[in-house]
Amino acid sequence: MSDLKWWETAVIYQIYPRSFQDSNGDGVGDLPGITSRLEYISNLCVDAIWISPFFESPQKDFGYDVSDYCNINPEYGTLKDFDILIAKAHSLGLRLMIDIVPAHCSEAHSWFQESRKSRNNPKSDWFHWVDPLPDGSAPTNWLSFFGGQAWSWEPLRQQYYLHNFLPSQPNLNHANHEVCEAFENIAKFWFDRGVDGFRMDAVHTINADKPPYKNNLAKPNFKTGILPQEQQPFFRQLHDTAQLNQNSIQGFIEKFRKVADSYEGDRFLMGELHGDDPVSASKSFTARGRLHATYNFNLLEWAGLSVEGIRSAIASAIDAFNGTGRLAFAFSNHDVPRSATRQLDALGLKQDQQEALQLLLLKLEVCLIGSTCIFQGEELACADVQDIPLDLMQDPWGKEFSPVFLGRDTCRTPMVWSKESNSWGDFSTADKTWLPISKEHLERAGIDEMNRPESVYNQFSSFLKWRKTQPAIMEANTMELINSRDHQIIFDRISNNQSLRCCFDFNTLTTSFSEN
């Protein structure tokens, strides 16, 4: 029997609630909609679901701007709806994780509304307030991920406040112990409702430093280009010495971990982080008593990766984390173009190879050490949606940089379930959905594909059933890369009871497995 915890080998299905299933005809997905589709997820044979934020929010960044961490945004449902959802998930053998946003909240949150009023109120130190420089400018050269400065002026306090994302997403001051205590209470609120873990959003952007802050350094040998990482000023800077991945973050994480460990059932903390040296940061963030795992960006390159790029990403993970379950891999999520499009282009493959490539990528990632996160629609080989009209775009990041960069709407369009059901593929009965339905996705509707024996959905489901029977994958997190041809990735998964050779051929788009 394996001594591994459930999360060390878990396949986690990510749900973007706004785009999964609408139950009340308003064009927006919701919690009852998720509940109605849980059998579809359970039949895929994954181990857990992760639901992106559904908390009360003005939705300026679609849930990642929280105005109440312990309540449900009305368009998604109610706390009772959540309780019904988690009960059904558990009855189907699915663990349930939710997405917590600890680095920042919404400007509409009562914490910020009180803090911005004056310099001497009970919440005055809950955010990063800094006086201007003598010339009136911002205190540092820090930039926002979404464009512009990371500091905005507040006339009431006559000070700048920090926001690593939108101005409407002020960064919380984690040097204030009351802020940390507030998040410990938030964790307890959701653990008490039965949540099995948290995906902790952008933990590398938590800020607990005090002024005077350091400036970011310029990135050496920076070259301009058309990709989002290259076209935006933010990526001209190095951040880990000042703005991001601060050492003080670990104190918050350690306190949060103690809360998780006080509950039975192996509650899981998976932290999203990035930075100048993400592997080194991951080691620190997953040290004893901190996060169980980090959400790994190595395979999420916006423009996709060559076979050698994929092999290199895997190699760096093995070098740092072999023998552990401290990484969670993903080829796609709600922030990057879908892998069926990204990797098809990067590998120079043709459109009719989309399904075979997607199945290969799915099999590859669930054979790596640690856990895996599968974004909704990946099991259907859905492509990215590149033809959303500019006037229908919703993502603030895309609006800022369009038409050169279309943002994240392209991977967030609603799931479709039945081609023959209605114009929206049974996602909704509304006259209009929050993002347009992809006509191409109608040809890959979820329930239709579940009922088609040869679909990617069913082939992947069968593979996950087989995976659960393999000791080399389920009983140990050890692997060894094997020298291979340019078009292949080969590695051994190794346990005391089995050595399993895994071969992924990007020329034939086939996989093979054999015991050594």
Asked if residue 328 lies in contact with residue 12, where contact means CB atoms within 8 angstroms, the answer is yes
From the candidates 47, 201, 384, 426, which is the catalytic residue? 201
Strand 217-218 relative to strand 237-238, pairing: antiparallel
Task: Count each helix (H run) and each strand (E run) in the chain, helices first.
Answer: 16, 19
Q: Rounded to an integer, what is the distance from CA 7 to the centroid of its chain?
A: 16
Per-residue tokens: 104: 């920042």
> What length does the chain have?
516
- Contacts within 8 Å (CB) and 24+ apart, 281-288: 281/204, 281/240, 281/245, 282/320, 282/321, 282/326, 282/327, 283/320, 284/245, 284/247, 284/250, 285/203, 285/204, 285/249, 285/250, 285/253, 286/324, 286/326, 287/250
Secondary structure (DSSP) of 76-87: G--HHHHHHHHH
Per-residue tokens: 367: 């054979």
In angstroms, the CA 391 to CA 395 distance is 11
Segment (H or E) for 510: strand 510-515
- Name which of 319, 294, 283, 298 is nearest 479 in CA terms: 319
Strand 197-200 relative to strand 268-272, pairing: parallel
In angstroms, the CA 242 to CA 457 distance is 44
Query: CB neighbours (10 Å) of residue 231?
Result: 14
- Name which of 328, 299, 310 is nearest 490 in CA terms: 310
Q: Determine the angle formed by the axes of helices 456-467 and 354-366, rounding to 10 degrees.
A: 20
Task: Locate the DSSP E strands across 436-487.
Answer: 479-482
At CA 28, angle to CA 409 and CA 75, rounded to 5? 125
201 a catalytic residue: yes
From the candidates 75, 81, 99, 272, which is the catalytic residue? 272
CB-count exposure of residue 348 (10 Å: 0-12, 13-18, 19+) = exposed
- C-alpha torsion angle, residues 341, 346, 348, 351 (rounded to 10): 0
Radius of gyration (C-alpha) of the chain in whole angstroms: 22
272 a catalytic residue: yes
Q: Which residues are identified as catalytic?
A: 201, 272
